[in-house]
Structure 1
Amino acid sequence: MGLAARRGMHTLSGLSRRRSILSKIAVATAAVMLIGGGGNAAADSSGETLKWEYSPASRPAAGPETLTMANNHRPESGNNLKAAPGTKDANGVWQVDRTTTTLSNTVTDGDGGTANLTFEVYTTDANGNPKDQVKLTDPDTGKPAAYGVVVSSFVTSGGTAKVTLRYGDLKTNTTYAFRTSAYDGSLYETDWSAWSKFKTRGRAVDIKLPEPNKSAPAVDLDKYQEPQVGTRNLPEEVTRAAKDAGKGSETCTDHGQKITCIEVGKPSDLSAKERQDVANRLRASSGGLVPWCNDAGVSLGKDYLKRDSACLKWATPIVFKYLTKAPDGNIYNPADARFASAIEIKLDPVSRKFTQRLALVPMDPFVVEHGTIGMPGPFTMIPTFKCSPECTTAAPVWDGSNTWQPKGDFHAAYATFDHEWTGGTATKTDKLQLDWTIAGTFPGAPGQDYPQWLGNSTPDFDIRCDVVASATSPGCVFSAYKPTWVMNFAKTPAAVAHAWLIQSKLPNHPGSKVAGKPIKYLPASVRDSDLNRKVICPDGWAKTYGNPDTTPIDTSDTVSCDEFAYAASYNSGGMPASLGGMNEVDTGNDCVQTYASRIATGDWRLYDDIRTAAPTWKEFCGRSSMSNYQNTQSMQPFSGTFSSPSKFRLLDKDEYWVAFPEFAHCDASKVTVACVVPKP
């Protein structure tokens, strides 16, 4: 029917059709009033079932007509149909960024009164034509809406009437058509508006997860603590300065006709074959104070640390030189004794005591480079290890003699030094600096050679000792080492998936080792992290506002709100910038929104919340509605083990990584982050 015919400028045939329709409306309305309404189309007196193309008066969801007022003006739908939030594409289809779509249209009433609109939604076929009616839900009651349509509130004539469809009525990534028809409280519009189409957005997150296993064993955190390369003050820096001052690159002692020197070389001074030989000798001679010191990947020529141990392999080779001075002053017939060396350090996070161990492994005892002048007698290596301040050091205990014979003596020797931190207050930490030197002597020498400096521990290998973490259990750690936290995926897969998603997709990458973005620890003693949590996850948020499809794991469980980065961190979106917060937001609504739902036994999904706009992936935090068990249990071992004084002894602002080994195969770069975990 044309617009003129719809608005009262009827031809005879149009008028006849209008009277026929009105007759059916009257009968249908009476029938509906008699049966009290319902979801089925009414029947006229002939028994014909009214088709859905008839006016809403045939299924009066907005209320019954007052037929005594049939001569008044009927209200009319406008031609300004919109689906929001969204924009219209080149084909005239509204692209809506959620499934809780708001539909609207203008409406007028010729009597100048108020009117509302009935909204009807259909799926579409392959050609984009209306196909099947979507039986909508009453937005107010949550129950099926009468006749499957929803009705707006009354608005003034010329105003815009709108309805927001309830979550669950529409599917993701689906095209729909909708139309409206007006009602002014007495009379219905006799026809529907034109159709308008809209499409809901697709999912941005679809991660398939297994059933949580409450009996899953605890994560072996030690397994994930990889050695970290560290730096310290090295003798080559002193050597370079000495060269610049014209003092040479080694420390020598003149004994008259004999000169002895000690030089600390660099790994680059060795050939590839020599480097491998040194590594093999050290590995074969390892005493096991720090077992990982000789693991594959712990290379000669680098220094490594973990939270409670260190392996220093830079100081190689150490060369003891023996030279002869002729009457003319020339130096002849040098003979060298070269050693591979390594220093191992073992700390105890709940003790004031710690241990160092020096390994000396001969490479070539007294290699004569020129001539055949006799070799000196046995010579002795004398290391000196110190720590300061407020630290005591016992005399070294040797395993193997620290004296070597001139020829054929390839035995390894180990010097163990025990230290004890003697300071400490409840309000501050102490930094202990380690310092290493080595000297040598041989029979007949007037005294010990002047020692050669091997370096000191600053900055990364300085030791932090404290009683701040525990007044009853003082302890020491390498605070420069960033430990790695791994959540229990088998027990709490949804919480782990949420943290992985946020770390992988957001520009701040909280806790990512690859991105170099560690988490910065916030202990409760500094600021109650619950205050952070209430910004992102206010009390009762999950129950009241979380996605309705959020699933507890069993009847004893409930739903709760999970945030990442963790509330107990400076990375938390709830941590104010004025207090050192790195990602402050106003509310959890500013975060990426997800939820965890059980689709079937053994099939859980982490989805983005389709009730809101898709993530931009420019957010700075994540908020997820999920099982309370999965949320709380995912972090329960953190304070009990990981951050505790007996494990990694985290203090305020200490940094750590968060790793997700089960997600190594997942690709977070896709528009839709979809993955099956664990890998099938």
Structure 2
Amino acid sequence: MSIRRVAAACLASAFLVAGFTASASERSNGTAEKPIDGRRFVEPEVKPKSAPDAMELKGPSCAAVERDPQRYMKPGETVAVCFDSEAPKSLTGKRGLAASKPESEPKRNPRAASGDGTVWCDDQEDNTIWYTRTELCAVHDHYIVVVNKNGAPIGYADGTVKQEIDTVNTSTHFQEYLYYKLKDAIGDAKSITVEISAACRPGPAECHQGPGPWEGKAPMVPGTSLDGTWLREWTGTTYQRNLELVYTLGVTVDNGIEVGSGEAVWGYNTADEWKVRCDNRVGTQAGCVVPAYTPTFNINWEKYPGANAYIYAAQWKIKTHPGKEGSGEPLHREADFTTAVRNRTKVCDGSFKVQDNFTGMVDDRYIPAEFQCDEYPFAKSKESGGQLKIDSGKECKQYALWPGYTNPAKYSIMEAHAPHGAADCARATMDKRGNEGVGGDLGRFTVSQRLLDDDAYWVHAEYILNE
């Protein structure tokens, strides 16, 4: 048998050992990655995350207001106003809002929206906050109920708030677009005024906030809308600051007969997602991100096929599946340089021996200029083997780089001659270009995502059938 055929047999075994073949359960539930061939690496589209519980409106429930309306009335008011995220029970059996028509075509409020109310999460589930590392977006509906002093509802309205917050990872300025529409109303809720306010905590000393989308109380009738923009700036100069956003929607009824008001509050006081973090600790420029979002570091499998195959194999072999979304927990940045060096020294210690599977196997032009010890999880992560109280890197899983069978430049990975250790870490003989290339990409990813110490991130290595 030729050396090339021996290598092919070894590589075939390596695919099985390293986890390149899906198990029966993975094939049945569709979770196994599919081989990719003949494609170029493209950074995957960012997938937004959601938090359904983040849109809860804070304020007295309409059931509570109907039981004791005068408790919620201010001096001089004759009605109380409350908010519900769902259709109030008292609306059951009454003429529905959708069927209600204004007595005449409403005149468009001169302060009405100049925009069309479009936000990027329009096609996502309503009453949920959607977010990426640089954006927050929400579309939430609510009901407004007007209750007289006897506890009887005498008016209903249906409104929608849309919000989109955009940050920039190289700027301390960020903006928010807010849109409000009074979709329909019946009874004493057919003519109201609406005002919106926001707090950017901890306040002006750290967060400068410009004028709101509209000023004061804006009169509205069914079918009209309002919109505008908030401009905000982190005014701090050192370290980092979480800027917490809290909103208050106020509605007033004053039709010459009945007078009353109410408000609903939402934001950081109800969900941690309503937060922007700004810092000047990463890169050369200060910037802001949405810290609730855990970003994904995608390994460039086209440029670094060996490193990609190694990380894929290590994530499956290590029982904790470090960094693999859906199977394990994310990695966390280790920002201390000294600790990162100590981590690497521990994993890639004197027990590591280069395993050269290229010399004498392939043409010289395919032999890497230099081999290095490559550790996973990364030395610059809290999950590094160096922080697992191991005595030596030989306690980690052991891998080695191999040339591809039909294309020697398309590197693969297999278990090294050295036996696997029991610790939840791995090390491999890797080409310098792959090891340092992925490390450089990780550094740029750290800056672009503004990862601070202990910030979480996923690592995605693609399944590529390297032949």
1:294 equivalent in alignment to 2:122 = yes
Residue 146 of structure 1 corresponds to none
Tell me the SS of whatever aligns to 1:397: coil
Does residue 630 in structure 1 map to residue 434 in structure 2? yes
Q: Quick one: which amino acid aligns to residue 176 of structure 2?
A: Q
Amino acid of the residue matched to residue 596 of structure 1?
L
Question: 1:316: which partner in 2?
Answer: 141
Distance 1:231 1:424 in 2: 33
State whether structure 2 residue 220 is matched by structure 1 residue 220: no
Q: 2:252 touches 2:262 (CA, 8 Å); kept in 1?
A: no
Residue aligned with 1:436, SS: strand
The offset of 1:440, in angstroms, is 2.0
Is the contact made by 1:308 and 1:349 (CA closer than 8 Å) also made in structure 2?
yes
Could you tell me which residue of structure 2 aligns to residue 404 of structure 1? 220
C-alpha spacing 1:392/1:202, structure 2 compared with 1 (3 Å): closer
1:535 aligns with 2:336: no
Contact 1:239 1:249 survives alignment (8 Å): no
Structure 1 residue 502: Cα displacement: 1.4
Distance 1:653 1:393 in 2: 29
Which of 267, 271, 276 aligns to 1:463? It is: 276
What is the correspondence of 1:244-263 to structure 2 with a 5 Å cutoff?
Answer: 258-263=78-83
Distance 1:550 1:357 in 2: 57
Count of residues in Structure 1 that have an aligned counterpart in Structure 2? 415
Contact 1:234–1:456, Cα closer than 8 Å, also in 2 = no
Q: How does 1:364-379 map to 2 (within 5 A)?
A: 364=184, 366-368=185-187, 378-379=191-192
- The answer to whether residue 205 in structure 2 is matched with residue 383 in structure 1 is no
Deviation at 1:202, TM superposition (A): 12
| SS of residue in 2 equivalent to 1:294 | coil
Say whether 1:519 aligns with 2:328: no
1:41-56 matched pairs, under 5 angstroms: none
Aligned to 1:606: 413
Report the CA distance shift for 1:300/1:654 in structure 2 as closer, same or farther (over 3 A).
same
Q: Distance in 1 between matches of 2:36 and 2:373?
A: 19
Taking the aligned partners of 1:394 and 1:432, their CA distance within structure 2 comes to: 15
Whole-angstrom CA distance in 2 between matches of 1:630 and 1:304: 35
Which secondary structure state, in structure 2, belongs to the residue aligned with residue 459 of structure 1?
coil
Matching residue within 431, 441, 444 for 2:242: 431
Cα separation, partners in 2 of 1:466 and 1:655, compared to 1, 3 Å: same
Match of 1:18 in 2: none
Query: Counterpart of 1:643 in structure 2: which amino acid?
Result: T
Can you give the 5+ residue segments of structure 2 that lack an aligned partner in the other structure?
1-5, 22-33, 99-114
1:239–1:250 Cα contact (<8 Å) kept: no
One-letter amino acid of the structure 2 residue matched with residue 557 of structure 1: A
Q: Which of the numbers 357, 360, 363 marks the counterpart of 1:549?
A: 357
Residue number in structure 1 paired with 2:297: 485
Q: Match of 2:133, as an amino acid?
A: R
TM-score (norm 2): 0.74
- Separation in structure 1 between the aligned mates of residue 192 and residue 318 of structure 2, nearest angstrom: 61
**Which of 140, 160, 183 lines up with 1:340 in the alignment?**
160
Aligned AA (2:163):
I
Q: Which residue of 2 aligns with 1:643?
A: 446
| In structure 2, distance between residues paired with 1:550 and 1:537 | 21
| 2:180 match | 360
Cα drift, residue 573 of structure 1: 0.5
TM-aligned CA distance change 1:268 to 1:563, over 3 Å: farther
Relative to 1, partners in 2 of residues 1:240 and 1:413: Cα closer, same or farther, differing over 3 Å?
closer
Residues in 2 aligned to 1:249 and 1:521: alpha-carbon distance in whole angstroms: 54
Q: How far off its partner does 1:499 sit?
A: 0.8
Query: Where does residue 372 of structure 2 map in the other structure?
Result: 560
The aligned counterpart of 2:234 is 421
Report the Cα offset of residue 262 of structure 1: 3.4
Alignment deviations for residues 355-411 of structure 1 (CA, whole Å, 9 cap, x no partner): 2232223332x224xxxxxx5774221011111112222212359x95322xxx423
Cα pair 2:79 2:261 within 8 Å, conserved: no
Q: Tell me by how many angstroms 1:210 deviates.
A: 11
Deviation at 1:259, TM superposition (A): 1.9
- Asked whether 1:351 is paired with 2:158, we answer no
Residue 136 of structure 1 is matched in structure 2 by none
Partner Cα separation in structure 1 for residue 294 and residue 332 of structure 2: 10
The secondary structure found in structure 2 opposite 1:438 is: strand
1:676 match: 465
The equivalent of 2:312 in structure 1 is 500
Of 651, 658, 663, the residue aligned with 2:459 is 658
What TM-score, normalized by structure 1, do the two folds share?
A: 0.53
Match of 1:120 in 2: none
Answer yes or no: is the 8 Å Cα contact 2:331–2:382 preserved in 1: yes
Asked which structure has the greater RCO (Cα within 8 Å, sep 6+), the reply is 2
Equivalent pair of 2:373/2:427 in contact (CA under 8 Å): yes
> How far apart in 1 are the matches of 2:341 and 2:48?
32
Distance 2:88 2:46 in 1: 31
Q: Distance in 1 between matches of 2:189 and 2:240?
A: 49
Equivalent residue for 1:43?
none
CA shift for structure 1 position 634: 2.4
Hey, what's the Cα distance between the residues in 1 that align with 2:454 and 2:189? 56
Give the Å deviation of 1:433: 1.5
CA distance in 2, matches of 1:341, 1:210: 44
- Aligned equivalents of 1:511, 1:267: Cα separation in 2: 42
Contact 1:424 1:465 in 2 (8 A): no
SS in 2 for 1:571: coil
